[in-house]
Amino acid sequence: MKKDVRDYYGQTLQSSADLQTNACCDAAPPAWLKPWLAMLHDEVVSRYYGCGLVAPQQLEGMRVLDLGCGSGRDVYLLSALVGERGEVVGVDMTPEQLAVAERHQAYHQQAFGHARSNVRFVQGDIEHLDELGLESDYFDIVVSNCVINLCTDKARALNEVFRVLRPGGEMYFSDVYGDRRMPDMLLQDPVLYGECLSGALYWQDFLTLARQAGFLDPRLVEDRPITIGNDHIRARLAPARFFSATYRLFKLAGLEPACEDYGQAVIYRGTLPESPSAFVLDNHHRIERGKVFPVCGNTWRMLHDSRFAGHFEFIGDFSTHYGVFPDCGSRMPFTSDSFITPVGGCC
């Protein structure tokens, strides 16, 4: 299947118009990103096949790794956001896609006003970052955009991400998930797999693999249902439903399996340029500037022990435990699903 995926993205697809479904189609970008996106080279953008946006905040000076970078759209977008002091490395197994990315390196260096290029590209499998010379505990952030579903060894890919992230770093990525496991005959279909559908993880299996890799408290940032605009493919996959979802996974030792209440709170200073009025950690934590916001121990640590620490005031410690926050459950998390009602509480 790996060769089929390489051929599909390297030879079959020549632009996003060649896709047979809308699974690998981007959502509308936020306003603050649009000026940067407008500066990207047309060929780089036309060969983009992502399902979401992978531009987290507070990137200045960060080291970022993009898994399955393809033609380099996200690499170059991130290169503008990290600035000259930062570094962005793109990894992809498809030589045709990397050729597109590499021939526009000088173009983007000049477009962003950098004295030198702050990006580099590496050809290889994202499941084998250890074979590509990528150091342990090196990157501040790892991103990927509609790529983990294409991996044949998803557990190894997540384990490698955990290895290369520094403590306190995070994986911030968009991907496709299903509401059930796919039968083997669909997993072997190169078109269904290449369209990011039959290889999509069942959401519970993703959470299990993430925790096994060391990401103990996965946080869903946003999600949307995927509508398959191809009658034949939709019929073959029915009744399965699919979702595009963005998660953030923090590399923090000792996170707890539930939202435990220690009487802690945070106050957002409003100092992130893209979020002057409120900071969104995930789909249950929109923290308004200047307001005391109660949080569980895990959330407190995600802010206190990460690159976001300077943007918050922190209240409390871990000396007294008050039990678990209400509604800390384990049902399907995607609030865009019409059958799911959002729950309250810290989690």
Least confident of 52-66, 285-299, 325-339: 325-339
**Which 3 state secondary structure label does DSSP give 304?**
helix
Q: What is the DSSP string of 61-85?
A: T-EEEEET-TTSHHHHHHHHHH-TT
pTM of the model: 0.90
Give the CA diameter of the chain.
59
Q: Which amino acid is at 180?
A: R
* 231 contact partners, CB below 8 Å, separation of at least 6: none
Amino acid 344: pLDDT:
40
User: How far is 328 from 347, CA to CA, in rounded Å?
Assistant: 6
Write the pLDDT tens digit of every residue in 79-130. Answer: 999 999 999 999 999 999 999 999 999 999 999 999 999 999 999 999 999 9
80 with 104: CB under 8 angstroms?
Answer: no
Of the candidates 167, 176, 178, 141, the one whose C-alpha atom is nearest the C-alpha of residue 67 is 141
8-state DSSP, 343: -
* 126 contact partners, CB below 8 Å, separation of at least 6: 67, 68, 91, 93, 144, 147, 151, 157, 160
In a 10 Å sphere around its CB, with 0-12 CB exposed, 13-18 middle and 19+ buried, how is residue 268 labelled?
buried
